[in-house]
Chains A and B, each alone.
Chain A
Amino acid sequence: MPDFEIIAEGKLSGSATEIDITSIPATFTHLECVFALRAATGAASGNGTIRLNGDSGLNYGHCGGYTSSGGSGGFATRTGGLTYFQAGVTLAHAGGPAGIFYVNRVIIPLYASTTTSTKTIMSMQTIGWNDSDNFTEYCAGFWNSTSAVSSVTLGNLGANYDTNSSWWVGGYA
């Protein structure tokens, strides 16, 4: 087995309410996911979500910092007791030009552990298309579970994923 391997990859051929990556094997040590996402035309929201193993219970928490163009930055604080990890996925604003996708990178160390009772999640996102429309965010959170992560589902908060949104998931030995 190579020390890094692409487990799954794909691209949407049409808009979708969610992206479901399933059957992730427990044979690796750490998991990395990269998503290039865009909201479908006319969408009202640019936020997406991550759920692991389809768990919709109050088992997630996260907080993150962001900075945007125009000299103003800020930090977003989000708390626990949530039913999804939000900051890990953000869609390109619907008002952005065609072909612009929001790049997300998510790391889940020890994703396959069944003894570590909390899985931490680290993520970084960035997007930009001109001098005044760019944005970067990093965030961290957790999923309380002793189960190995076997699926990653990208849901949405009001915006479908647009055609050509793509992803890959890789495992580190």
Chain B
Amino acid sequence: MANAVTKLATLTPSGTTAAAFTSISSAYDDLYIIASVKTDSTSSSLTRATARLYYQFNGDTSFNYNSVNVYVQGHSSVATGEDYWNSGSASNNMYLSCAPTSYYSSSNGWGSFEMYIPGYAVATSANPEYLGKPHRVLGCYDFASTGTAYMGNSFNQMNYGMATGTNTAITSINFKTIYGNYTAGTTMTMYGIKNT
């Protein structure tokens, strides 16, 4: 059996606000990305807003994106979680809260995400199931370390995104921070998945 998983690229951004997979081969059926992320911002408290990355396909900055997501956040001082279902509305990007700042700790408190994009290379309307490139992404982060008041403030988000204007193969994906730059140690790995 041929290898079903092929590592395509690894990004290790540091001191920059952008990390982009470019020249993505169309030779596979699906794309899979696993990442571990942190930023160096110390000017903002850690919230789902400050911990956001946003991403765009093929450099498309028009209002061609929609997403719906749910998140839950655990606080050491709050007994119950919070949940939000956001109705999709046109946006010029999609976001994911998975990149904690260094507000509480420069070493502890990392985030991660995984993203799965089926049919990323389908470029015709003959496969309407892939129109808009619907995909799934799951991200999370946590605050600080043992012994601090912040331990346990972990957060996760599940996001079903759809780039409504996309009917072409995805050839690039750009992940950009909202606050600060990526810190050393940030790693994003892209894999191509063959179904046969």
A: residues with CB less than 8 A from B are: 2-4, 29-30, 57-59, 61-65, 75-82, 107, 109-110, 113, 115-120, 122, 124, 138-142, 144, 172-173
Contact = CB atoms under 8 A, between A and B. Distances in A.
Q: How large is the interface on B (under 10, 10 to 19, 20 to 34, 35 or more residues)?
A: 35 or more
Interface centre among B107, B151, B154, B191 (most CB of A within 10 A): B154
Interface of B: 3-7, 10, 34-36, 70-76, 78-83, 107-114, 138-142, 145-146, 151-156, 158, 185, 187, 189, 191
Contact of A75 (B5, B81, B138): B81
B74 A62 contact: yes
23 contacts: A3-B191, A4-B4, A61-B152, A65-B81, A75-B83, A77-B73, A77-B80, A79-B75, A79-B152, A80-B146, A81-B146, A109-B34, A109-B114, A115-B185, A116-B36, A117-B107, A117-B110, A120-B140, A120-B141, A139-B156, A140-B139, A141-B140, A172-B189
Nearest to A145: B146
Nearest to B140: A140
A63 B185 contact: no
Contacts, number: 152
Nearest to B76: A79
B138 A138 contact: yes
B152 A117 contact: no
Nearest to A31: B34
Nearest to A64: B72
Nearest to B10: A29
Q: Among A3, A61, A140, A142, which residue has the most Cβ atoms of chain B within 10 A?
A: A140
